[in-house]
Structure 1
């Protein structure tokens, strides 16, 4: 694995950990469902963007 790919993989791992921890720690007092849903949506979009940059040079 290249150093650049390792950097992106670690970023995705951090996002994955945040997706599990934020709703149960920081947003514990948010009683509406859309608090967690908004966090998961934003983190998913960031992950999709990271995957694009990670895989855009694979065909070359």
Structure 2
């Protein structure tokens, strides 16, 4: 895995850590449903983008 792969793996690790920490820290005081909904939509889009970047160079 080259430097680029390590970068994207680090980004995915950061997303996983954010998935655990943000809802229980930054969003813990938000009572409205759309606070968490916005976070999970943005998280999902970011995870899809990082996974696409990781698998872009895969070949058969």
1:26-53 deviation per Cα after TM superposition (whole angstroms, max 9, x unaligned): 1111012221122122011111111111
TM-score (ref. length: structure 1) = 0.84
Q: How many residues align?
A: 60
User: C-alpha displacement at 1:7, in angstroms?
Assistant: 0.5
- List 4+ stretches of structure 1 deviating above 4 A: none
Structure 1 or 2: larger helix share?
1
Higher relative contact order (CA 8 A, sep 6+): 2
Q: Give the unaligned 5+ runs of structure 1.
A: none
CA root-mean-square deviation: 1.4
